[in-house]
Amino acid sequence: MAEALVKHAFTGAGHPPAKATFDLMARPTAKTGLLSWLTTVDHKKIGMLYGGFAILFFLIGGLEALMIRTQLMVPNNRFISAQLYNELFTMHGTTMIFLAVMPLNAAFFNLLIPLQIGARDVAFPRLNAFSLWTWVVGAILLNVGWLSHFFPSWNFGGAPDIGWFGYAPLTSKAFSPDISTDLWVLGLQVLGLSSIVASLNFIVTIINLRAPGLTMMRLPVFTWMALVTSFLLILALPAIAIALVEVMMDRNFGTNFFEVSGGGQPILWQHLFWVFGHPEVYILILPPMGYVSEILPTFARKPLFGYPIVVFSGVAIGFIGFGVWSHHMFTTGMGTVATAAFSIATMAIAVPTGVKIFNWIGTLWGGQITTRVPMMFALGFIWMFMLGGFSGVMHAAAPADAQQQDSYFVIAHFHYVLIGGATFALLAAIHFWFPKFFGRMVPEVWGKVSFWLIFVGFNCTFFPMHFLGLNGMPRRTWTYDSNMGWNEGNMFATWGAYLLGVGIFTYFAVLVWSLFKGKVCGNDPWDARTLEWSIPSPPPEHNFAAIPTVHARDAWWYEKTHKDEIAAEKAEHIKAEEAHGGIHMPDQSWYPLFSAFGLLVGAYNFAQLHHPVVMFGNQVLASHLPLAITGGVIMASALYLWALEGPAGYHLHIAADGKVTESRGGH
């Protein structure tokens, strides 16, 4: 019996065909409609959901930024209150990092990794869905506090207002009594869970599911950067997970990790936070370096210059990235030796970063550069990222940093890295791969208009901030006085921000238009170089009719010049796969969604733990504990049923004329 169950669970053998009647174990099969999205295990659908949610939060974070800039437009402004301002800058940072750039990168990991390595999906498709839905839960927990501004009786105390960095002891019960901080702690914790699960999945996928012949040193650079990023995530996230647990225990169970009166050390939080927080910077920027390393060769029509050095410098950045965290803490009184060590290490990390820029320029050298929209964003990335890198080197000089730390100079620096860098590269990537996943082109003219609006708006917003910072304007300030010499810079930056907002709006409005009206395109509209361009746009659910054999870097470029050789290999692969029963595809599942839902119920009610449950004005329960436990039970049950439902799945058969048929049952 037990053996049969194990066999059933791990190999799918003996699994009964899907029944028409309701069955807890039956796996949903809908291919279209809401159900297909909620239960999907297809990496492309999951990628699009990540992308769609991320863009939504990117726009929300942008609106928060515009409210911040409006408040700072003139001195002593009263457009919004100090409290709301603090919530806005906290959530702007939290949203842009965890709910916009990271999930946009996750979207591309999902969309591209299997296609670039010639795989049919990620290694663990249901786990992939679990990562997605867990991420959604984290996003809800972080943002649910906004509702209390619209429904004052909902007792959240507003959105989190402790800064995205949540420095103790401001996060302690004494200074942040309401539950917005508890929701922030749990939200980040849940997002961390999502990222760790996803990273393990991608690492296994990249290591194990590469097509024959695709050695590590033939891997597309984007996939390489995704691999490095995934390792950074699983190594960095435990640090903040521990720190968050400690804050949670301090707030709920009377421990003294950071409680000053109990002998706690607030500096401990900063070390734990930045041991995560600095690798996080590279988690945000390495995938964009990957996009750019794919886009530049395509539009220069020659391979990436110095591929091994680009890869190794990416890995080197990943390593050194764990040894520079205290440069965020130069003003905390670390003493001379520690400050000097972190100062030098920070300068050292500029070298592999600079190497990448040299290699991108080397890629352009001697090429045939066509400046399509993705290329414009990619070139914009190099210029802007270079400027952000320079102000980064300035921060590495610790005594100079004592003046710049927590001033607008820092804001200028990291927005050059995260908008001029990461966001420009993401906008390039969205434009570049849009035709692949939607089968339609984005119009060039409107793409260029949005590029210039964004480019000019971005520089008008953030370039003056260098000067505001050097002129002594501290960050995270709700207002400023009119005699400080900051009036013009702030006015200019706010107009720039509006322009940037118009540019971003144009960019996405054009994308939406293109979804429906864009010119239909073929496999390979850009004359690109990697495997995802060898298959139809949009890709079929099984990705590759035949898994290709890879003979060189830039496998698709090689295929274009060795058509007969590859076609013969592919025909053989199809035959071999058919002999094994065809292309095995996984079935969909409810349980990733259900288990994430249990997590939502549990985490939300745990944040509310010490408050009574009130419904329609009546107290129903004295505490949220029973509801929190209920959430845990839902999650545990869903995970248990997940384990039992078995892999099931079905087979696809490719006929000689390319027609796809489906068969179920047997194995």
Residues annotated as catalytic are: 92, 121, 164, 194-195, 278, 280, 282, 293, 327-328, 353, 356, 475
Nearer of residues 561 and 619 to another protein, judged by Cβ: 561
| DSSP-based three-state secondary structure for 211 | coil
| DSSP-based three-state secondary structure for 548 | coil
Single residue of 331, 623, 630, 637 touching another protein by CB under 8 A: 331
Whether the Cβ atoms of residue 455 and residue 444 lie closer than 8 Å to each other: no
Whether the Cβ atoms of residue 464 and residue 435 lie closer than 8 Å to each other: no
Single residue of 95, 405, 530, 605 touching another protein by CB under 8 A: 405
Start-end of H helices in 518-660: 555-561, 563-579, 591-607, 625-644
Whether the Cβ atoms of residue 107 and residue 54 lie closer than 8 Å to each other: yes
Q: Could you say which residues in the range 506-545 bind another protein, by CB under 8 A? A: 519, 521, 525
DSSP 8-state secondary structure symbol assigned to residue 98: I
Segment interacting with another protein, rule: CB under 8 A, options 4-12, 248-256, 490-498, 621-629: 490-498
User: What does the alpha-carbon distance between residue 490 and residue 496 come to, in Å, rounded to a whole number?
Assistant: 10
* Interface pattern 81-100 for another protein (x via CB under 8 A): xxx-xx--------------
Nearer of residues 326 and 595 to another protein, judged by Cβ: 326
User: What does the alpha-carbon distance between residue 226 and residue 234 come to, in Å, rounded to a whole number?
Assistant: 12
Number of amino acids touching another protein (CB under 8 A): 117
User: What does the alpha-carbon distance between residue 429 and residue 222 come to, in Å, rounded to a whole number?
Assistant: 11
Segment interacting with another protein, rule: CB under 8 A, options 142-150, 328-336, 625-633, 658-666: 328-336
Single residue of 109, 274, 307, 414 touching another protein by CB under 8 A: 307
Q: Could you say which residues in the range 167-186 bind another protein, by CB under 8 A? A: 167, 169-170, 174-175
Q: Tell the smallest beta-carbon distance from residue 347 to another protein (Å).
A: 5
If one asks whether residue 340 binds another protein (CB under 8 A), the answer comes out as yes
DSSP string, 423-488: IHHHHHHHHHHHHHHHSBPPPHHHHHHHHHHHHHHHHHHHHHHHHHHHTTPBSS-S---TTSS-HH
Q: What angle do the packed helices 180-208 and 102-116 form, to 10 degrees?
A: 10
Nearer of residues 59 and 502 to another protein, judged by Cβ: 502
If one asks whether residue 354 binds another protein (CB under 8 A), the answer comes out as yes
Segment interacting with another protein, rule: CB under 8 A, options 30-38, 196-204, 349-357, 656-664: 349-357
Single residue of 38, 79, 203, 448 touching another protein by CB under 8 A: 448
If one asks whether residue 3 binds another protein (CB under 8 A), the answer comes out as no
Q: What angle do the packed helices 591-607 and 625-644 form, to 10 degrees?
A: 160
Q: Tell the smallest beta-carbon distance from residue 621 to another protein (Å).
A: 24
What value does the CA radius of gyration of the chain take, rounded to a whole number of Å?
A: 26
If one asks whether residue 267 binds another protein (CB under 8 A), the answer comes out as yes
Single residue of 365, 522, 622, 644 touching another protein by CB under 8 A: 365
Phi-psi domain of 151 (left: phi exceeds 0; alpha: psi -120 through 50; beta: other): beta
Single residue of 18, 59, 66, 75 touching another protein by CB under 8 A: 75
Segment interacting with another protein, rule: CB under 8 A, options 210-218, 331-339, 568-576, 580-588: 331-339
